[in-house]
A and B are shown apart, each in its own frame.
Chain A
Amino acid sequence: MAMPEVLVVRTGTANMASVLAGLRRAGAAPRVSVDPAEVENALSLVLPGVGAFAAAMKQLEDDHLTEPLRRRVDAGRATLSICLGLQVLADASEENPGVRGLGVIRQTVRRFPDTVRVPQLGWNLVHPDANCRLLEEGHAYFANSYRLVEPPRGWYSAMSDHGGPFVAAIEHGAVLACQFHPELSGEWGLALLKRWLIASTEEPC
């Protein structure tokens, strides 16, 4: 079988080398782009991201990618959002009040409480709900100071705990958004990338 091409959005501040290496290990042929039409219509798309919410949103706006991203997620096209890539799907973030996110998830991203180490750096146990098709239980690697607290409506969710429950990942068909880094989560993360790739090449129903 030919290696499926996966388009990776160049966000300017992602750990791109690790994302590309992880996708190649999972059997994909990644290609980097910021072309709005490609981003909207690619069969499979990865939206990576590290850094700050406002900087990431500004980059997406400057590259005219906010509408294409919103439309492809609404249409259910195979999309993997990683870390800050998940957070920008929300309405807003406490990190940069007043900056609007993509608004796919009607929530504000909030900072972890001061009772725990912030940023959260390390491996935490992920508990998927019974309906998840892609997400499985296991340890995932996180590197974040902000997170969604409530499982969003219309998605299946996996939760973790760091100073209270938070959203580790959400999925809807072949749209998968992870607060953790699957590309840095060892064999468990690799297996998840492979499941997403398989789901992303299935015909949408």
Chain B
Amino acid sequence: MLTHRIIPCLDVRDGLVVKGVRFQELREMGSPAEFAWAYEQQGADELVLLDVSATPEGRKTKLDTVRRVRERISIPLTVGGGVGDWTDARALLEAGADKVAVNTAAVAKPELIAEISSRFGVQCTVLAVDAKQTAPGQWQVVVRSGATDTGIDVLDWVRDACRNGAGEILLTSWDRDGTRSGYDLALVSAVARAVGVPVIASGGADTPQQLLDALQAGADAVLAASIFHEGNYTVAELKKFLAAHLVEVRR
């Protein structure tokens, strides 16, 4: 039976992990590749690397970062940030990504999803969605930089994306991200019911119970950043907790 995945997320800017400043030991090691390696040792099932570089110079370091992480780890790597057309996706895959996440550019150009999945496969095309609640049971797609409302309904958006070839949904709650108040369970549940592809819950994780809640709400995988970077829990500790609650995990 397919196990539930725990996915640490590395937010990288100009070649450096930008969250996790309190994780002293790793900060001294420095690089995304060292973080990635440490998470694999802890039992991470997969890694997501989101490049948040704001400058052209920073963006150039992205491929180097992906190459270094790939040399160090033997688990899957999803890379997102700044993917505007299929050649960006190709460059990331050639550097060592196994999956590519598209977000903002897909809102402006929905055919981007089909462009990537028709060339590299559905299993390699991840749609990252930032969702903001507008009413009970309703969410709108927002574009992360500037939190611009797009007016697009999240459930319509993910259904369309899957028809166009998205093979996985990386679902971030805009309202919960960074709040430590737990995943938006109603959002997770609604999206998991709307699509047939795997759903990764993201945004708001702070405790093992919250990870369990998201998986029980229908998520196939849970993504978190600060819970790991700050050293509050290791991946192994979280898996032990989940296994004790009868969740199938890889040990």
Q: Which residues of A contact B (CB under 8 A)?
A: 13, 15-18, 21-22, 25, 50-52, 114, 116-125, 139, 141-145, 161-162, 181, 183-187, 189-190
- Known A118-B197, A121-B168, A124-B2; judge A17-B67 contact (CB<8 A): yes
**When the two chains form their complex, are residues B71 and A21 in contact, meaning their CB atoms are under 8 A apart?**
yes
The answer to whether A50 touches B124, judged by C-beta atoms less than 8 angstroms apart, is yes
Q: Which residues of chain B have a CB within 8 Å of any CB of chain A? A: 1-5, 40, 45-46, 67, 70-71, 74-77, 93-99, 118-124, 167-168, 196-198, 220-221, 250
Minimum distance in angstroms from B195 CB to a CB of chain A: 9
- Specify which chain A residues have a CB less than 8 angstroms from the CB of B94 in the assembled complex: 16-17
B122 / chain A contacts, CB cutoff of 8 Å:
119, 145
Q: A21-B96, A122-B198, A139-B250 known; 18 other A-B pairs, CB under 8 Å?
A: A15-B97, A15-B98, A17-B93, A17-B96, A18-B77, A21-B70, A50-B120, A117-B197, A118-B196, A119-B123, A119-B198, A122-B2, A122-B4, A123-B45, A124-B1, A124-B2, A141-B75, A144-B123
What would 19 A/B residue contacts be, using CB atoms closer than 8 Å? Answer: A15-B93, A17-B94, A21-B96, A50-B121, A50-B124, A51-B120, A116-B2, A117-B197, A118-B197, A119-B122, A122-B4, A123-B45, A143-B124, A144-B123, A181-B98, A184-B75, A185-B74, A186-B74, A189-B74
- Majority secondary structure, A binding face: mixed
Tell me if B196 and A114 are in contact (CB < 8 A). yes
